[in-house]
DNA sequence: CACCAGGCCGTGC
DNA sequence: GCACGGCATGGT
């Protein structure tokens, strides 16, 4: 449970709710409830979502051998991984994420689900599709307290078809395409590419990563984290928040 | 009251 | 190209 908490509610996905005795999420038109890694492995859809076929133990060994900081991060969060989320969900999630905290991002995610998604099980709402969300307006979004992100969400709805092209594009082109949506800068684009399209070459730099890089990796370029930049980034993100780096 | 949170936009240089 | 303030909201 503690292992799963960081993966499911640590800032890469906002779909999961900590129910106390399990984690639940409305995905793939149903409510999933999990308490352990095995729960992901025994369901085909969840197994893919959990990125079960990737050799994380090999990656961990490689990353651990780089330096003491990464070694400590890997030890602290041994089972960390990159979930394979839905591109649209990742897009809106990380629009909500800017200048915001994880708790409130999750709250807004749930507010959108209740308002525009559909009830899959009593009290459990799916995240709205682009079509469902297109019923909203700037005024309604403001009522849900999304703040200045309202116009960003509206533009993302308009340009949702962009997501269909991303898989066929090189990273830089895909990034540029996503950044043509209002409110999508380099950081949000990298999160969408990583968490929504599983582009493992992504390296999202947020305030926490910025602090880690300044403190522990001054002067180092991102090539230092090859061949697992995204995983290194995720380990450092969790570790920085764990340490409450100042 | 201040400052911050998985940032981005517009402006000025 | 880079630095800066503004931006909605809720928490500390």
User: CATH no. for residue A179?
Assistant: 1.10.340.30
| CA atoms within a 13 Å half-sphere pointing along the CA-CB vector of A59 | 22
- Under a CB-based contact definition with an 8 Å cutoff, are residues A111 and A144 in contact? yes
Distance in angstroms: CA A100, C1' C5:
18
- Under a CB-based contact definition with an 8 Å cutoff, are residues A39 and A205 in contact? no
For residue A69, how far is the Cα from the chain centroid? 23
- Under a CB-based contact definition with an 8 Å cutoff, are residues A171 and A73 in contact? no
Give the whole-angstrom CA distance, residue A99 versus residue A149: 10
Q: What is the pLDDT of residue A112?
A: 98
Q: Which of A64, A66, A159, A187 is catalytic?
A: A187
Which CATH number goes with the domain that contains A214?
1.10.1670
Closest nt to A107 (CA→C1')? C10
- Under a CB-based contact definition with an 8 Å cutoff, are residues A188 and A96 in contact? no
Per DSSP, what are the bridge partners of residue A125?
A: A119
Q: Strand B: which bases are under 7 Å from protein Cβ?
A: 4-9
Distance in angstroms: CA A1, C1' C6:
41
Closest nt to A142 (CA→C1')? C8
Out of A159, A184, A209, a domain closes at: A184
Distance in angstroms: CA A158, C1' C4:
31
Q: What is the pLDDT of residue A85?
A: 98
End-to-end CA distance of chain A: 28
Q: What is the pLDDT of residue A24?
A: 98
Q: Which domain holds residue A217?
A: 56-80+198-246
The DSSP letter of residue A149 is: G
How many domains in chain A? Answer: 2
- Is A177 an annotated catalytic residue? no
Nearest Cα to Cα of residue A50 among A64, A34, A72, A71: A34
Task: List CB contacts of A170: < 8 A, sequence separation 6 or more.
Answer: none
Distance in angstroms: CA A61, C1' C10:
40
User: Both A133 and A158 in a single domain?
Assistant: yes
Q: What is the pLDDT of residue A7?
A: 98
User: Both A91 and A163 in a single domain?
Assistant: yes
Closest nt to A147 (CA→C1')? C8
pTM, full prediction: 0.98
A100 sits within 7 Å of strand C by its CB: yes
Distance in angstroms: CA A206, C1' B7:
8
Residues with CB under 7 A from strand B: A 10-12, 94, 97-102, 104-105, 148, 179, 182-189, 191, 204-209, 233-234, 237, 241
- Under a CB-based contact definition with an 8 Å cutoff, are residues A189 and A175 in contact? yes
Give the whole-angstrom CA distance, residue A73 versus residue A63: 10
Helices and strands of chain A, counted as H and E runs: 15, 5
Determine, yes or no, domain membership for A165. Answer: yes
User: Both A154 and A213 in a single domain?
Assistant: no
Q: What is the pLDDT of residue A115?
A: 98
Instruction: Render each residue's pLDDT in chain A as its tens digit; 246 residues.
Output: 888 999 999 999 999 999 999 999 999 999 999 999 999 999 999 999 999 999 999 999 999 999 999 999 999 999 999 999 999 999 999 999 999 999 999 999 999 999 999 999 999 999 999 999 999 999 999 999 999 999 999 999 999 999 999 999 999 999 999 999 999 999 999 999 999 999 999 999 999 999 999 999 999 999 999 999 999 999 999 999 999 887
Say which residue the tokens 């540029």 belong to: A176
């Amino acid at each position: 449970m503690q292992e799963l908490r960081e993966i499911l509610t640590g800032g890469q996905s906002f779909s999961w709710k900590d129910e106390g005795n399990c984690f639940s999420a409305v995905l793939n038109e149903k409510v999933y409830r999990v308490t352990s890694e095995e729960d992901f492995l025994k369901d085909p859809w969840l197994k893919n979502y959990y990125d079960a076929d990737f050799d994380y133990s090999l990656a961990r060994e490689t990353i651990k051998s780089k330096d003491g900081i990464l070694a400590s991060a890997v030890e602290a969060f041994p089972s960390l991984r990159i979930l394979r989320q839905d591109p649209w969900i990742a897009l809106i999630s990380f629009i909500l994420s800017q200048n915001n905290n994880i708790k409130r991002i999750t709250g807004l995610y749930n507010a959108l689900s209740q308002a525009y998604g559909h009830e899959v099980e009593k009290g459990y709402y799916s995240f709205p599709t682009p079509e469902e969300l297109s019923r909203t307006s700037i005024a309604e979004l403001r009522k849900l307290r999304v703040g200045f992100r309202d116009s960003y969400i509206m533009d993302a709805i308009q340009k949702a078809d962009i997501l269909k092209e991303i898989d066929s594009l090189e990273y830089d082109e895909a990034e540029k395409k996503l950044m043509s949506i209002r409110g999508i800068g380099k950081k949000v684009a990298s999160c969408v590419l990583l968490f929504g399209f599983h582009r493992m070459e992504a390296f999202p730099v947020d305030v926490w990563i910025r602090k880690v890089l300044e403190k522990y990796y001054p002067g180092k370029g991102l090539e230092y984290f090859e061949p697992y930049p995204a995983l290194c980034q995720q380990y450092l993100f969790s570790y920085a928040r764990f340490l409450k780096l100042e």
